[in-house]
């Protein structure tokens, strides 16, 4: 389980830090082209500073499809005139498939990966410039033969060539943190010892503390003795007697009464009687709920009084017709309204002395009332 966690952590680190242009303190490479229509690349191209003592650029594949590798190195990005071309088959190593490949020199590379029918599955073009051990520049081919493939599906099922992922930068730092976390977790308790301690130590102490707090329980009281010297009047020896003689020997018993009692004849009711009905069963059915937009009341108007049409009374015909004449028109009206020019009554002038009451007017506002100005 820890191995799977380690692989997952390192793979996440690759996803976070891997880019087409990888730059580190010890290596640099640039991906020019990747052809992978079937998504066979499981771990993209990445720098490994310590791959069996070398710093290389690695790539890993999924599945068992890749059976053949052809790779060439070039001086420039034109990828014309290869310096060297090598072909590797899985049979060269006794493997069943290739699951990875590494580039160990500072060159331009073209690597092609084929299936069982010699069909092209993956093609990679890249430029490696930052390898230190070895550098393998274009003038030196001493380490060229060290390029090759890795396999995890050989005869040994316990082999783990993919574990080269553990050589990623900072791996020991991350694993050291996990070790610190693991060391900080206390071990699981011994539950048998816990139960024994609880039974032998905690429970007795708890009982003792409760006894100290509440005190001991009182003892159970003894049964009180019978009261002696009580005068019963001899009631325990008395037998009840019947008030009438002979009743005690009459022999009336429940069984005799049930067997000798006369049968009461049932008489039919001549009126026919009546039936008691269930009141809930006589209730009318509840009408269904009205639906908006419908005019059907659906039983909700049951028992509603019908509306009657009220007609206004019409007066009866009268014999004869009253002659009220024709309505006058303005043209036929002979009454002419008076006009101001035809009024012969002239209004009195206040200055005229012959107008009654003029002598009572003040001649001056300062004159007393009724002064007359005399």
Distance CA 92, CA 67 (A): 10
More confident site: 172 or 269: 269
Distance CA 22, CA 24 (A): 7
Distance CA 97, CA 90 (A): 6
What's the first-to-final CA gap in the chain, in angstroms?
Answer: 142
Confidence (pTM):
0.36
Beta strands in the chain (DSSP E): 21-23, 28-35, 41-51, 54-61, 68-74, 84-89, 100-103, 108-114, 120-128, 149-150
Dump pLDDT digits (tens) for 270-290.
887 888 888 888 887 777 777
Residue 106 predicted with pLDDT over 70:
yes
Dump pLDDT digits (tens) for 31-76.
999 999 999 999 889 988 888 778 888 899 988 899 999 988 888 8
Q: Where are the alpha helices (DSSP H) in the chain?
A: 2-17, 171-184, 191-197, 203-214, 254-260
The stretch 297-318 carries a mean pLDDT of 69
Q: If you average pLDDT over each of 22-26, 133-137, 199-203, 222-226, which comes out highest? A: 199-203
pLDDT category of residue 12 using cuts at 50, 70 and 90? very low
Distance CA 33, CA 234 (A): 127
Distance CA 140, CA 105 (A): 9
More confident site: 100 or 315: 100
Distance CA 140, CA 106 (A): 10
Check residue 287 and report its DSSP letter: P
Distance CA 216, CA 226 (A): 30
Q: Across the beta sheet with 100-103, what order do the strands follow?
A: 41-51, 54-61, 100-103, 149-150
pLDDT of the residue at 169: 54
Q: Based on the number of CB atoms within 10 Å of its own CB, is 171 exposed (0-12), middle (13-18) or buried (19 or more)?
A: middle
φ, ψ for residue 96, nearest 5 deg: -100, -20
Distance CA 306, CA 323 (A): 46
Q: CA-based Rg of the chain, rounded to a whole angstrom?
A: 64
Q: Based on the number of CB atoms within 10 Å of its own CB, is 50 exposed (0-12), middle (13-18) or buried (19 or more)?
A: middle
Dump pLDDT digits (tens) for 337-358.
666 665 556 666 665 555 556 6
Distance CA 26, CA 135 (A): 11
pLDDT of the residue at 131: 84
**Site of tokens 């081919």:** 141
Give the residue among 133, 164, 232 at the shortest CA–CA distance from 10. 164
30-36 contact pairs (CB < 8 A, 24+): 30/126, 30/127, 30/129, 31/124, 31/125, 31/126, 32/77, 32/125, 32/126, 32/127, 33/123, 33/124, 33/125, 34/122, 34/123, 34/124, 34/125, 35/120, 35/122, 35/123, 35/124, 36/121, 36/122
Distance CA 137, CA 131 (A): 10
Q: What is the DSSP string of 31-56?
A: EEEEE-TT--EEEEEEEEEEETTEEE
């Amino acid at each position: 389980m820890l191995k799977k966690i380690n692989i997952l952590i390192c793979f996440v680190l690759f996803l976070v830090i891997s880019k087409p242009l990888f730059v580190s303190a010890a290596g640099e490479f640039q991906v020019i082209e990747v052809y992978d229509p079937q998504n066979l690349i499981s771990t993209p191209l990445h720098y490994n500073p310590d791959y069996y003592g070398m710093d290389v650029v690695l790539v890993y594949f999924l599945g068992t499809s890749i059976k053949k590798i052809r790779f060439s190195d070039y001086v420039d990005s034109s990828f014309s005139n290869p310096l060297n071309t090598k072909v590797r088959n899985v049979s060269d190593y006794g493997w069943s498939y290739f699951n990875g490949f590494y580039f160990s020199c500072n060159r331009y590379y073209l690597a092609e990966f084929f299936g069982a029918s010699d069909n092209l599955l993956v093609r990679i073009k890249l430029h490696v410039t930052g390898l230190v051990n070895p550098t393998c520049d274009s003038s030196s081919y001493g380490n060229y033969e060290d390029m090759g493939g890795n396999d995890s599906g050989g005869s040994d099922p316990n082999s783990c060539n993919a574990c080269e992922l553990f050589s990623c930068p900072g791996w020991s730092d991350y694993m050291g943190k996990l070790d610190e976390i693991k060391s900080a977790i206390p071990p699981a308790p011994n539950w048998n010892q816990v139960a024994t301690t609880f039974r032998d130590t905690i429970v007795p102490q708890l009982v003792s503390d409760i006894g100290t707090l509440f005190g001991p329980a009182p003892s159970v009281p003894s049964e009180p003795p019978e009261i002696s010297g009580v005068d019963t009047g001899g009631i325990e020896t008395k037998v009840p007697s019947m008030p009438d003689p002979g009743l005690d020997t009459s022999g009336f018993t429940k069984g005799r009464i049930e067997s000798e009692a006369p049968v009461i004849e049932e008489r039919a009711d001549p009126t026919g009687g009546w039936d008691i009905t269930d009141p809930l069963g006589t209730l009318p059915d509840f009408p269904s709920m009205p639906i908006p937009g419908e005019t059907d009341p659906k039983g909700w108007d049951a028992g509603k009084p019908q509306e009657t049409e009220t007609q206004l009374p019409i007066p009866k015909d009268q014999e004869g017709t009253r002659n009220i004449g024709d309505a006058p028109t303005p043209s036929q009206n002979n009454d002419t309204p008076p006009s101001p020019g035809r009024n012969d009554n002239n209004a009195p002038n206040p200055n005229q002395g012959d107008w009654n009451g003029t002598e009572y007017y003040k001649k001056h506002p300062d004159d007393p009332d009724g002064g007359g100005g005399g």
